[in-house]
Every structure is written in structure tokens, then in C-alpha cells.
Amino acid sequence: MVIFYKIVNMGSVEENIRNIWSRIEKAAEKTGRDKEDIKLVAVTKTVEVERIKEAIKCGIETIGENRVQEAESKFVQITEKVEKHLIGHLQTNKAKKAVELFDFIQSVDSQHIAQEISRRAFQMGKAMEVLVEINTSGEKSKFGVDPDQALSFVKLILNSEGIKIKGLMTIGLFSDNSEDTRPCFKKLKAIFDQMKRESLPNVEMKYLSMGMTNDFEIAIQEGSNMVRIGTGIFGPRSL
């Protein structure tokens, strides 16, 4: 069952998006980049379809959902042209539906799930773009490949038919202090750069997906070029 939450008043979606882009621009400038270098993924988990459509009208080009079941119920109502990312953990039994629904899967974290995505995508004649999720915080509650195994893992799956590895993703350390996440982002950027130097076949280190509402500016400072923003756009949600 999908539960939708009430949106706590935090300004309009349009105002929030403008504010987020302004902050992205300032963070990017500190690293000598433009805001156009950063891909913004609007996280629409538990957000009503009407609010998602409003965000798309305000220029959002990419949305991210955490669960396949919730995405399936909402995507049939979203006819606007928008890129759809799966950003949450993917179970094997949901791989077929995920490949059907999404343009991009950001959460590949095991050989088994990579093989299942590959198999389903190949059957559909589709090349699924994916990111490999790395657990940079070491928290046992999180999914993701161990940083020390990242390179060997990518080498293990890079020849899988039906998938295209486009980069890496991580979720920073859960902390009230956003600065605590910086080491996580530094670690992923180092892995990203190492893989670039390896020039692995069938691997394009294009996207470094890290940073959410509470820490995206720090993530951008550390090299992120894809941020996943939910609360900053749609406001905090409460039952």
C-alpha cells in the first residue's frame, strides 16, 4: 500500500525549485562549474501526482522514485515528458517491472541484481543505464557495494548485456551536521576518478550522484554532478 503524506507548508513548488537552482549555482561556482553541469533529480517519493506535475511544469526534467510499486501507480498518470530514475533499493522480483518503468536505475549494488536487470533489459531490447551504489558511510543499515570492492565489482558486471554503467551513487552519512557527510563524498569522488583512469570497457564514468536536501551543496563542492532533492522541492511531509 502506498501512503501519501501531507505537505508541510514551505513555499510553492516553483519558489522552492528556483531556490534550489540558485543554491546549486552558487555551490557549482565554487568549483569552477556552471549550474548546467549539475543534473537535478526531483525525488517524488510519497508526493502526490498533482505536485509532481506542477514541478514538471516548473522545469523539472528528471524525477526519482524509491519504490517500484509506488512508481507504477503514479507513472500511468504522468504523461508529460520526464526522465524517470529509480533511486531506491531494487529487489530481484521487481527488476522486470523496474526495467519497464524507468529510464535509469541508480541503485545497482550486487552482481545478482545487475544480472537480473541485464537479463530483463536484453529481453526487452533495451539498454538500461545504471549507477553502481557504493556504501561510503559504512552504515550497516544502508545498501551498497563496499568501497574497497567497488572497482572489482564494476569489472565483474561491465560486460553484462542490457546495461550501461554510467557512474556511481552514494547516500551520505545520516547526521544532523551536514559536514559529517563530506568524507563520504570525498571517498566516492576518489573511486570515481580511479575508475575514470582505468578506462574500463563498456563503462562511462559520467555521473557522480551524491547529495540530498541537507547536504547537496557539500556534495557539489566535492564533485557531485547529480543531486537528489525531495524535501527542498516539495517540503517536509507528515502524516
Indicate the pTM of the whole model. Answer: 0.93
What sign for the dihedral angle of Cα 44, 50, 54, 59? positive
Percentage of the chain exceeding pLDDT 90: 90
Report if residue 134 sits inside a domain. Answer: yes
Report the alpha-carbon distance of residue 217 to residue 224 in Å, rounded.
9
Report if residue 7 sits inside a domain. Answer: no
Domain that holds residue 31: 14-238
Report if residue 86 sits inside a domain. Answer: yes
The reported pLDDT for the residue numbered 194 is 96
Report if residue 39 sits inside a domain. Answer: yes
**Domains in the chain, number:** 1
Which cell is 84 given?
A: 524517470
Buried b (16+ CB within 10 A) or exposed e, 64-94: bbbbbebbbebbeebeeebebbbbbebeeeb
Report if residue 5 sits inside a domain. Answer: no
CATH of the domain at 178: 3.20.20.10
Report if residue 8 sits inside a domain. Answer: no
Angular region, 32: left φ>0, alpha ψ -120 to 50, beta rest: left
Report the alpha-carbon distance of residue 46 to residue 134 in Å, rounded.
25
pLDDT tens per residue across span 102-133: 999 999 999 999 999 999 999 999 999 999 99
- Per the CB < 8 A criterion, the answer to whether 96 and 84 are in contact is no
pLDDT tens per residue across span 149-171: 999 999 999 999 999 999 999 99
